[in-house]
Amino acid sequence: MAYFDAGSAAPLHPVARQGLLAALDEGWADPSRLYREGRRARLLLDAAREAAAEAVGCRADELVFTSSGTQAVHSGVAGALAGRRRVGRHLIVSAVEHSSVLHSAEAFEADGGAVTRVPVERSGAVTVGSYEEALRSDTALACLQSANHEVGTEQPVAEVAEVCRAAGVPLLVDAAQSLGWGPVPGPWSLLTASAHKWGGPPGVGLLAVRKGVRFVARGPVDERESGRAAGFGNLPAIVAAAASLRAVRAEAAAEAARLRELTERIRARVPRLVPDVEVVGDPERRLPGTVTFSCLYVDGEALLHGLDREGFSVSSGSSCTSSTLTPSHVLKAMGVLSEGNVRVSLPAGAAEEDVERFLAVLPDVVAEVREKLGAPSAAAAAGVGRGELVVDALGKRCPVPVIELAKAFGGVPVGGTVRVLSDDEAARLDIPAWCEMRGQEYAGEEPADRGTAYLVRRVS
């Protein structure tokens, strides 16, 4: 089985396993106690904090360990907002942040705060100017991920951090996807990360808060971890997380170069091997091991199952997967095709032969799914029929509305329109994306008795 989903959780690094087993014997005691076992545990905790802080690029007393990356985000956002409450109650986030950041923003909004969600370009990146324009006199905090978790696009964090610093606004960076590859540049104020993203054990998060940043911990304050993370920490897992972070950093430069070549191979060859595919995300400013593409006329869940049967573990942001009923908020914000979406995120050590085998089996898997769904062929005939056709796709889910549109399109002449009736949220994203890929005009949407009418005009 080839595991190609390191963006969700990287396999446990050998150094993490060694550190975990050693710390189970030496680090089980309470590190706050003064007896021998406690002192030994404290030495392990201090060493882990020093190693993690060095990798992050902060002081050891600026970093605390949390129970997860999500907890680090929630604590960091809430604490920074509370610390700057007198400044104002305005928060800035990008539209493609991880759900943990967006959930924090929603909670803040529900409590009376104001939130600006900065849009992204089709590549998935924000512009520095958009953050600069979003800043207000009452802005308490801005958040920006270092790299996107779904499409791999790297964000201009250093430049945004400079803009925020000039305005006197702290920037919180979610570095979960990138920290294993290197430190985050720029004058950021807060940083969060999660150990299972770089090959550490799950259940360990990092929260770094720079000196001088106003921060008020929310909820009951615990005497541990500077009052920013309550409870008895999982010291063996913390030791393993810090040890593996140092290990992956030592290997990062060489492994990044190797994985970039493999993902570039996927980016270049998938559109040649499989018709009607859109490769998404920035082609250059991206994580080394991540490549994402979407296939027209494909059910995402069926595609993932087909690849799983062939021995490949990948993930998807499609709306037509069992875990979600709406398109990925990332793909939606980018305005790209969501159906048949596949994210390949290669772990360190991924084999070249596995990538070649993936490229060999993918065309047949996609063709099989399309055939079962009755998708149109690439050589569908052009028609000269009526000036307008209505396609009733009500009650049908991704990718069926787009398949029905493609089948009907040959029945209208140049200048004619197809009106697609759909109550599937994914259609709002996938029909315009189909027009973009086909060079046809998306004429907008109109309310209908049921669902929405999406208008497509034939221009060629």
Give the containing element (helix H, strand E) for 27: none
3-class DSSP state of 141 = strand
- Counting Cα atoms < 13 Å in the Cβ hemisphere of 316 gives 31
Burial class (CB in 10 A: 0-12, 13-18, 19+), 57: middle
Listing DSSP states for 171-205 in one string gives EEEE-TTTTTT-PPPS--SEEEEEGGGTTS-SS-E
Residues known to be catalytic: 320
Whether a cis peptide bond, with omega within 30° of 0, leads into 271 is no
Residue pair 142/115 in contact (Cβ under 8 Å)? The answer is no
Annotate 307-328 with DSSP letters as a single string: HHHTTEE-B---SSBTTBSS--
CA distances for 84 relative to 8, 88, 108, 170, angstroms: 33, 7, 13, 10
Q: Which of 400, 411, 425, 431 is nearest to 297 (CA)?
A: 400
